[in-house]
């Protein structure tokens, strides 16, 4: 199956919240590539075919103060986005070029998942059956290792293991120097590596060397001369290589580059600086790059096999448009996290709340994302939850309910959301999220040991929901952009499902009597909920609020857990109501506004047992991505009438779109 989705932004190099570069255009030549925040992180690709220059990525001139004629772009024949690769195909002057960007984020291999190395592979062949003389140029800019272009960089070139390794780094190395949202990394080292051969030459110089290549001139030492350190904006320094492909005929030739980033230290965790998971055994950056090259063919085979299987599974579960959504969401959901080990050697999978407030390990960002990780590695869900358990168990957290976060990325030292004021908290939301996630992990692993390890906190939060969850007081939920709401019916569902999950964990522990009591409590609450929420052919936004409605996306856990507390009629009538209220780009979140959340739309659609209904409900989301004028990584908050982004981009919550696949495959 090949996607027909026009992605609003195409993932290229997607490793973690700092090392994440996208193409935010229809064609790779329409614009420079950009960090997910929108700041330019340029790459440029040029090719000489029988002496004539063409472009296949970016532009030659980064800041044209005077006119310069850009080489004509190659014709982009297609771009295909799979879960692990983005593959561009170009043609010009009788030559065919494939450029494949692969980040091997295989969730069952934590070493590979953590490895900050991404591939750019180039394959050149004749398209017209005639031989052609071909030379290729590729560069990446120093923008990739600074927060702003006014910062200065230094550089060096090494040779190791038969490869050229080019390196940029910010002149002032202050590791983990700040936290925030619209930030890019300015510590550590950024690498471009390519294999040594007589056909390959490497360069570190100003972006002007692109013009020399275009003109067929030699790129000599004088052309590359720059003073060190060098402000990025002044001469636009680049790491570059040229590849003399020779005379290319029907038999295609290939070359592969590795883009890598060693962040030195990745996360500050309650006062302790933690290195990325891949460094736990003392592996050096050069060793990591060598492994990326040495294992490339096997990795590519594994990536292709995974892509095929996931797409087949997705089509069966929800149709071809659903498969398109999963392909686009996969790398984004993972790359909004950083994998580290805590001081005791346990996995931490730390999310960044991208383009929201930059919080780290946010509970109500983890909650929508977990379907993806439950499918392929529940240990990563545990890694999301461990920071919350640690913080909640300490004296710094004063409340009886679960916190929202443990800091602001990449500094995890305690909640920052709402300045810890009571009125800014999400008590029912976060308690329900933690209980549901813990129950899902227990079922997925068929083992309650993780829950038992944190049973004191889980029990305290269950008691809180038993007392406060059925008819929630005036408070925020995860949809905090909609403001405070009392008697939130969907939030009440979350509380009930949290208690149902608590009963399931007790059952797994062999505590049948207690499990039955909690199951009955959840069941009784569900019966009362149906009475309070019902408004004939749908359910209310809030208890007592007539002529209102909302997406009851939290109901999906009743199906996944197999608890069936709400029966079959509620999901059936709800999805019929959502269909009737669907706009061109989706069903609104509730009756108050035209905006919606992409993750919740898919959760709500997954309430239906009818695949045709599911496909009808998610098709408008596909249409939004295909038509929105806002060229950003997969937004999860958008207007269902206009297709415009309201807010948020590059967030891990798009992992929630895997909920239908999780429902079909089941837990455990």
* Neighbour order of strands in the sheet with 189-195: 75-81, 85-92, 95-102, 117-126, 253-262, 189-195, 163-170, 152-160, 230-231
* Block residue for tokens 């950024």: 190
- The answer to whether residues 576 and 616 touch, using CB atoms and an 8 Å cutoff, is no
The pLDDT > 90 percentage for the chain reads 97
Please write the tens of the pLDDT for every residue from 183-228.
999 999 999 999 999 999 999 999 999 999 999 999 999 999 999 9
Cis peptide before 209 (omega within 30 of 0): no
Query: Nearest 5°: phi and psi at 102?
Result: -130, 125
Please write the tens of the pLDDT for every residue from 491-512.
999 999 999 999 999 999 999 9
* Block residue for tokens 């690498």: 191
* Block residue for tokens 């067929």: 216
Residue 328: CA count within 13 A, CB half-sphere: 32
Q: What is the DSSP letter of 140?
A: E
Confidence band for 668, pLDDT divided at 50, 70 and 90: confident
Residue 39: CA count within 13 A, CB half-sphere: 20
d(CA 230, CA 225): 11
Q: What is the DSSP letter of 250?
A: S
d(CA 428, CA 476): 9
Contacts 24+ apart (CB under 8 A), 414-421: 414/270, 415/391, 416/357, 416/359, 417/357, 417/359, 417/362
Confidence band for 72, pLDDT divided at 50, 70 and 90: very high
d(CA 199, CA 244): 5
pLDDT at 69: 84
Confidence band for 100, pLDDT divided at 50, 70 and 90: very high
pLDDT at 181: 94
Instruction: Give yes or no for residue 3 having a pLDDT over 70.
Output: no
Query: What's the chain's average pLDDT?
Result: 97
Please write the tens of the pLDDT for every residue from 245-278.
999 998 999 999 999 999 999 999 999 999 999 9
Please write the tens of the pLDDT for every residue from 20-59.
999 999 999 999 999 999 999 999 999 999 999 999 999 9
- The answer to whether residues 508 and 442 touch, using CB atoms and an 8 Å cutoff, is yes
d(CA 263, CA 277): 11
Please write the tens of the pLDDT for every residue from 216-255.
999 999 999 999 999 999 999 999 999 999 999 989 999 9
Confidence band for 62, pLDDT divided at 50, 70 and 90: confident
Q: Which two tokens stand for residue 575?
A: 């999805």
d(CA 205, CA 141): 10
Please write the tens of the pLDDT for every residue from 422-442.
999 999 999 999 999 999 999
pLDDT at 162: 96
pLDDT at 560: 98
What is the average per-residue pLDDT within 309-338? 98
Q: Which two tokens stand for residue 661?
A: 């696949």
Instruction: Give yes or no for residue 577 having a pLDDT over 80.
Output: yes
Confidence band for 1, pLDDT divided at 50, 70 and 90: very low
- The answer to whether residues 333 and 369 touch, using CB atoms and an 8 Å cutoff, is yes
Instruction: Give yes or no for residue 2 having a pLDDT over 70.
Output: no
Where is average pLDDT lowest: 60-64, 405-409, 629-633? 60-64
d(CA 605, CA 553): 8
- Residue among 401, 416, 587, 581 nearest 494 (CA): 401
Please write the tens of the pLDDT for every residue from 517-530.
999 999 999 999 99
The pLDDT > 70 percentage for the chain reads 99
- The answer to whether residues 27 and 57 touch, using CB atoms and an 8 Å cutoff, is no
pLDDT at 497: 98
Give the number of other Cβ atoms within 10 Å of residue 250's Cβ.
11
């Amino acid at each position: 199956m090949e996607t027909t989705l026009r992605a609003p932004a195409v993932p290229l190099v997607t490793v973690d919240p700092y090392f994440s570069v996208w193409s935010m255009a229809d064609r790779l030549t329409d614009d420079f590539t950009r960090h997910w925040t929108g700041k330019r992180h340029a790459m440029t690709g040029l090719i000489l075919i029988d002496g004539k220059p063409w472009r296949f990525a970016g532009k030659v001139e980064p800041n044209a103060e005077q006119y310069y004629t850009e080489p004509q772009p190659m014709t982009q024949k297609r771009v295909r986005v799979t879960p692990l690769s983005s593959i561009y195909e170009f043609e010009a002057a009788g030559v065919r070029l494939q450029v494949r960007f692969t980040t091997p984020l295989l969730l069952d291999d934590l070493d590979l998942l953590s490895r900050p190395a991404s591939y750019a592979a180039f394959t050149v062949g004749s398209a017209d059956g005639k031989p052609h003389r071909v030379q290729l140029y590729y560069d990446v800019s120093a923008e990739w290792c600074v927060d702003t272009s006014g910062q200065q960089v230094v550089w060096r070139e090494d040779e190791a293991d038969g490869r050229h390794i080019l390196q940029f780094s910010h002149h002032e190395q202050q590791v983990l120097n700040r936290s925030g949202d619209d930030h890019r990394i300015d510590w550590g080292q950024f690498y471009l590596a390519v294999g040594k051969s007589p056909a390959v030459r490497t360069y570190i110089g100003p972006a002007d060397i692109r013009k020399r290549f275009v003109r067929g001139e030699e790129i000599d030492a004088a052309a590359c001369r720059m003073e060190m350190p060098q402000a990025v904006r002044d001469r636009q320094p680049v790491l570059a290589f040229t590849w003399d492909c020779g005379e290319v005929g029907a038999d295609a030739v290939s070359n592969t580059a590795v883009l890598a980033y060693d962040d030195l230290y990745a996360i500050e965790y309650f006062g302790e600086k933690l290195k990325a998971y891949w460094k736990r055994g003392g592996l050096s950056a050069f060793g990591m790059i060598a492994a990326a090259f040495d294992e490339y063919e096997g990795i590519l085979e594994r990536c292709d096999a995974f892509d095929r299987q996931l797409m087949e599974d997705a089509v069966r579960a929800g149709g071809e448009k659903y498969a398109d959504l999963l392909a686009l969401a996969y790398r984004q959901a993972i790359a909004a996290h950083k994998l580290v080990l805590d001081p005791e050697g346990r996995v931490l999978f730390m999310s960044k709340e991208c383009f929201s407030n930059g919080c780290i390990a946010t509970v109500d960002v983890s909650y929508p994302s977990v379907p993806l990780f439950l499918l392929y590695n529940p240990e990563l869900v545990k890694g999301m939850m461990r920071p919350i358990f640690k913080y909640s168990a300490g004296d710094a957290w004063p409340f009886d309910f679960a916190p929202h976060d443990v800091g602001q990325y990449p500094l995890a030292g305690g909640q920052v959301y709402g300045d810890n004021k009571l009125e800014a908290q999400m008590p029912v939301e976060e308690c329900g999220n933690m209980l549901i996630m813990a129950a899902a992990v227990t079922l997925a692993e068929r083992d309650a040991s993780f829950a038992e390890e944190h049973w004191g906190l889980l029990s305290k939060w269950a008691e809180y929901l038993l007392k406060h969850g059925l008819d929630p007081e005036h408070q925020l939920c995860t949809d905090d952009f909609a403001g405070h709401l009392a008697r939130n019916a969907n939030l009440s569902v979350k509380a009930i499902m949290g208690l149902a999950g608590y009963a399931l964990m007790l059952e797994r522990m062999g505590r049948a009597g207690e499990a039955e009591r909690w199951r009955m409590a959840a069941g009784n609450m569900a019966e009362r909920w149906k009475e309070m929420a019902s408004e004939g052919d749908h359910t209310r936004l809030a208890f007592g609020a007539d002529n209102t409605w909302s997406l009851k996306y939290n109901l999906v856990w009743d199906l996944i857990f197999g608890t069936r507390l709400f029966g079959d009629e509620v999901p059936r009538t709800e999805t019929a109501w959502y269909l009737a209220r669907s706009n061109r780009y989706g069903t609104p979140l509730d009756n108050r506004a035209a905006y919606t959340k992409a993750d919740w739309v898919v959760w709500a659609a997954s309430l239906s047992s009818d695949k045709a209904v599911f496909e009808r409900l998610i098709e408008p989301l596909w249409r939004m991505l295909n038509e929105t004028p806002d060229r950003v990584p997969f937004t999860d908050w958008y207007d269902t009438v206009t297709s415009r982004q309201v807010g948020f981009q590059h967030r891990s919550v798009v992992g929630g779109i895997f909920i239908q696949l999780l429902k079909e495959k089941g837990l455990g």
